[in-house]
Structure 1
Amino acid sequence: MSLMTVEEVASYLGVQDVRVERLERESLLVSKDKDADGKPLFDREDVERYKEFAQRIGGI
C-alpha cells in the first residue's frame, strides 16, 4: 500500500487541498492513516479508483 498526502492527492486530482479534506470529511475518500501533523493519508489505489469513478459520472 502506497500512501499519498493531501497535497499529492490534490495534485493528482487537479483540485485544491481543501477539496481533498472535504472529500475525506464526507467519506468520499477514506484515509488510511494520519501523518505526524494529524493530516490524512490516502491509499494510492483508492485515489485512482475515486478519480476513475468521478470522471465516469461527470467530474470531480
Structure 2
Amino acid sequence: MALMTISEVAEFLAVQDVRVERLERESLLLAKDKDENGKALFDRADVERYKELAERLGGI
C-alpha cells in the first residue's frame, strides 16, 4: 500500500489541498493513516478509484 499526502492527492486530482481535506472530512475519500503532524495519508489505489468514479459522474 503506497500512501499519498494531501498535497500529492491534490496534485493527482488537479484540485487544491483544501478540496482534498473536505473530501476526507465528508468521508468521500478515506484516510488510511496520519503523518507525524496529524495530516491524513491516503492509499494510492483508493485515490485512483475515487478519480475514476468522479470522472464517470461528471468531474471532481
State percent identity of aligned pairs: 75
**Which blocks of at least 5 consecutive residues in structure 2 are unaligned?**
none
**Which blocks of at least 5 consecutive residues in structure 1 are unaligned?**
none
Q: TM-score normalized by structure 1?
A: 1.00
Question: RMSD across aligned C-alpha pairs, in angstroms?
Answer: 0.2
**CA offsets 1:9-31 (integer angstroms, 9 cap, x no match):** 00000000000000000000000
Aligned length: 60
1:21 aligns with 2:31: no
**CA offsets 1:20-55 (integer angstroms, 9 cap, x no match):** 000000000000000000000000000000000000
Q: TM-score normalized by structure 2?
A: 1.00
Runs of 4 or more consecutive aligned structure 1 residues displaced over 4 Å after TM superposition? none
